[in-house]
Amino acid sequence: MLNEILVTSSSMPSKEEFFEEISELWDTHWLTNMGIKHKLLQEKLENYLEVPHVILYTNGHLALENAIAALNLPKGGEVITTPFTFASTTHAIVRNGLVPVFCDINDENYTMDVNKIEALITDQTVAIIPVHVYGSICDVEEIDRIARKYGLKVIYDAAHAFAVKYKGASVACFGDASMFSFHATKVFNTIEGGAVCFKNDSWVQLLNDQKNFGIHGPEEVAYVGGNAKMNEFQAAMGLCNIRHLDEEINKRKLIVEYYIKRLSGIDGIKLPSKQKDVESNYAYFPVVFDGYKYTRNEVFTRLAEKGIAARKYFYPLTNGFECYRNYPTAGTEKTPIAQHIALRVLTLPLYADLRLDDVDRICNIILE
């Protein structure tokens, strides 16, 4: 019986390394509320991501919700975003009392089609929330130009893009802020976790207070905040994983190159194209089956029958979710390219320790 292959497998340090990292916590008995590990990880990430400020969160979703809240946008304001993303992006907008307006994607790297943004801008538009989907970098220059022209805020959902660089610059430095997810399934994980990165010094206190019930001082509660703090065990996992990250990304690169070697040049199979000036993190391997001898769903089922879990990521589009059915801006027919890709894309298993003979097994099933 051949082993089952999951779509991903979390990166972990050795037990010894993690135990060593957390052993200090038995001396301090300080388990959360911005302890020593939290402080160390924050500094490490500010260096690694080359950004002045990193605020850590218990997960990426709350990081995004809090970043949007910090913009203090008028309720009912319209936010231009992409439906080709994880539920989190759209929910974070709506949970802040804002209205998502869905922009279609381009069919090259599946990020927001910047040529379609301006037509969606109205006098209610307050922000743009694009996604560096699969770790592909959005057209940050054009988005910046549009945001300046219309006075809009920009927050990037960079959940997929940790460690990616564009023209030598860290992905964390674009827009007003960027959100990262450190969920167990992401390239860099803190078990669960996330961060907001930005340059604006005046946001530091606000975001730090906001994630801790709005508590500003021992006897002062300045905001209606929630609780979104990263704890010490999460931060310790991050301190271990960041040591091995470059090596993990290199291993992913070899796997992606092998997939490309096995699957390129085949009619009806579209592979991710290399982006100009981008240093990738090899987070995902999305394959689009468009006119291939098997449909995406057939490939998905054939793999599943052999114990291999690929993922229909992203299907359905967020503008097709049941919970948004009555939203005037929803409807997958409004974003035809995103819908076309969502019906045909499959992300194949990819993680640092995936074996090349397992990649062969996967490709043989797809091609046979």
* Number of residues engaging ligand PLP in binding (CB under 6 A): 14
Contacts of 352 (CB under 8 A, 6+ apart): 11, 247, 248, 251, 252, 255
| Contacting residue, 13, 130, 135, 194, with ligand PLP by CB under 6 A | 194
181 binds ligand PLP (CB under 6 A): yes
Question: Which residue, 89 or 319, is less far from ligand PLP as judged by CB?
Answer: 89
Q: Answer yes or no whether residue 234 interacts with ligand PLP by CB under 6 A.
A: no
Q: Is 7 in the site for ligand PLP (CB under 6 A)?
A: no
Q: Which one of 81-89, 162-170, 299-307, 352-360 is the stretch in contact with ligand PLP (CB under 6 A)?
A: 81-89
CB of 61 to ligand PLP, least distance (A): 3
Which residue, 131 or 146, has its beta carbon nearer to ligand PLP? 131
Residue with smallest beta-carbon separation from ligand PLP? 60
Q: Contacting ligand PLP (CB under 6 A), which of 85, 231, 234, 339?
A: 85
Alpha-carbon span 33 to 319, nearest angstrom = 37
- Rounded CA gap, 101 and 83, in Å? 9
- Residue 131 engages ligand PLP in binding (rule: CB under 6 A): yes
Q: Which of 8, 11, 42, 59: binder of ligand PLP (CB under 6 A)? A: 59
**Per rule CB under 6 A, is residue 86 in the interface with ligand PLP?**
yes
The residues that touch ligand PLP, with contacts defined as CB under 6 A, are 59-61, 85-86, 88-89, 131, 157, 159-160, 181, 183, 194
